[in-house]
């Protein structure tokens, strides 16, 4: 046997994704390069590791056993690297963060510099809806979570990061009368919702209920990106976080519709369980956020002020 650590990493990724194409994308390699390494790895075993039926890749039982062994070997190598860096005084370990889907427009900017400074830290970031994020926090599966609405039933510590503002947005492809009231806008135009469990959806529903608005047609989509593209296409309007539509506003693909009672203001918070024993990597990250958050906000999110302070004719 003469396989390499690189081949083990490629094979493990293929077994996880069950696709050479997806594995090549995630590993930032070309598809031919991944295929060649898989063949070289396979050539060292008399039993097939994978098989292709139609266009679908399957992992054989033997391949699954080899994948388990590969994962153990890779984890041991990581452990050696961590120990080496720890003895050199560097921060090492795995930092696990759960982020609500819209938070993907926020969290990377609070991570990039920290990860550059601490090469021994690895990051696992799950992006999902609020319900799943809170569940991950509750089960102690993550170090931190990023949320715009604090979970009420958990005992948590919080660090407020920055404001989160939600506006009614649409495209020029879907028009309404210039003198239309708030009531008429919501009655006559399709409104696009996020899925159940989304904090954005909850905020939208509270606004509609509080103002006793009637909805003509409701469309439900499963991600913020899907909602954004649907609004750009003219499929409907939606109440969306400003943080996720910067480029679309700049390019005039989307426009803010001034409405009384909007924007809705919440706050992005980094939260963690009070009972959580933070790892050295997590503790270092928390200190980094507390020390640098003002500079990070000024550097990456100063543009938000333009829209939050903008004075527009508000529809009654």
**pLDDT tens, 107-144?**
999 999 999 989 889 999 999 888 899 999 999 999 99
Mean pLDDT, the chain, whole residue set? 88
Q: Per-residue pLDDT for 313 more than 50?
A: no
pLDDT at 55: 84
pLDDT at 120: 85
Place of tokens 């992005």: 268
The hierarchical CATH code for the domain 93-162+266-304 is 3.40.190.10
Q: Per-residue pLDDT for 30 more than 80?
A: yes
93-162+266-304 and 5-87 share a CATH fold: no
The pair of structure tokens assigned to 12 is 């493990």
**Per-residue pLDDT tens digits for 5-14:** 999 999 999 9
**Interval 223-248 mean pLDDT:** 92
pLDDT at 242: 94
Q: Per-residue pLDDT for 309 more than 60?
A: no
Distance separating alpha carbons of residues 10 and 22, to the nearest angstrom: 11
**Per-residue pLDDT tens digits for 176-219:** 656 677 888 888 788 999 988 888 899 999 999 999 988 877 88
**Per-residue pLDDT tens digits for 67-84:** 999 999 988 887 777 677
Distance separating alpha carbons of residues 270 and 177, to the nearest angstrom: 42
Q: How many CA atoms lie within 13 A of 232 on its CB side?
A: 16
Q: Per-residue pLDDT for 311 more than 80?
A: no
pTM: 0.69
Q: Which fold has domain 165-265?
A: D-Maltodextrin-Binding Protein; domain 2 (3.40.190)
**Per-residue pLDDT tens digits for 260-304:** 889 999 999 999 999 999 988 999 999 999 999 999 999 999 998
Domain regions of the chain by residue span: 5-87, 93-162+266-304, 165-265
Q: Which of 41-50, 58-67, 297-306 has the lowest mean pLDDT?
A: 297-306
pLDDT at 86: 60
Close Cβ partners of 117 (under 8 Å, ≥ 6 residues apart)? 288
Q: What percent of the chain has pLDDT over 70?
A: 92
Place of tokens 């003469």: 2
Q: Do residues 101 and 127 make contact, with C-beta atoms less than 8 angstroms apart?
A: yes
pLDDT at 264: 92
Q: Which fold has domain 5-87?
A: Arc Repressor Mutant, subunit A (1.10.10)
Distance separating alpha carbons of residues 169 and 258, to the nearest angstrom: 9
Q: What is the DSSP letter of 2?
A: -
**Per-residue pLDDT tens digits for 166-178:** 999 998 777 665 6
Distance separating alpha carbons of residues 258 and 31, to the nearest angstrom: 48
**Per-residue pLDDT tens digits for 145-171:** 999 989 988 999 999 999 999 999 998
pLDDT at 310: 47
């Amino acid at each position: 046997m003469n396989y390499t650590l690189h081949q083990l990493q490629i094979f493990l990724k293929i077994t996880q994704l069950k696709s050479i194409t997806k594995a090549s994308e995630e590993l930032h390699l070309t598809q031919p390069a991944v295929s060649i390494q898989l063949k070289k790895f396979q050539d060292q075993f008399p039993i097939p590791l994978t098989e292709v039926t139609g266009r679908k890749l399957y992992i054989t039982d033997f391949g699954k056993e080899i994948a388990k062994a590969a994962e153990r070997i890779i984890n041991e190598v990581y452990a050696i690297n961590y120990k080496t860096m720890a003895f050199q005084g560097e921060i090492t370990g795995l930092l696990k963060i759960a982020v609500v889907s819209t938070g993907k427009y926020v969290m990377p900017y609070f991570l990039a510099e920290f990860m550059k400074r601490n090469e021994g830290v690895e990051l696992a970031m799950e992006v999902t809806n609020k319900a799943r994020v809170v569940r991950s926090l509750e089960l102690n599966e993550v170090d931190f979570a990023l949320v715009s609405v604090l979970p009420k039933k958990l005992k948590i510590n919080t660090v407020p990061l920055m404001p989160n503002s939600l506006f009614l947005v649409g495209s020029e492809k879907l028009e309404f009368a210039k003198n239309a009231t708030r009531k008429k806008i919501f009655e006559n135009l399709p409104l696009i919702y996020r899925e159940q469990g989304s904090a954005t959806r909850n905020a939208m529903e509270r606004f509609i209920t509080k103002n006793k608005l009637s909805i003509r047609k409701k469309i439900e989509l499963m991600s913020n990106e899907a909602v954004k593209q649907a609004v750009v296409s003219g499929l409907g309007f939606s109440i969306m976080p400003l943080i996720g539509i910067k480029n679309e506003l700049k390019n005039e693909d989307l426009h803010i519709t001034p409405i009384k009672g909007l924007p809705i203001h919440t706050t992005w918070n980094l939260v963690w369980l009070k009972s959580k024993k933070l790892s050295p990597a997590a503790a270092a990250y928390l200190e980094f956020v507390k020390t640098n958050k003002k500079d990070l906000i000024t550097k990456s999110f100063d543009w938000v002020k333009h829209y939050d302070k903008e004075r527009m004719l508000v529809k009654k």
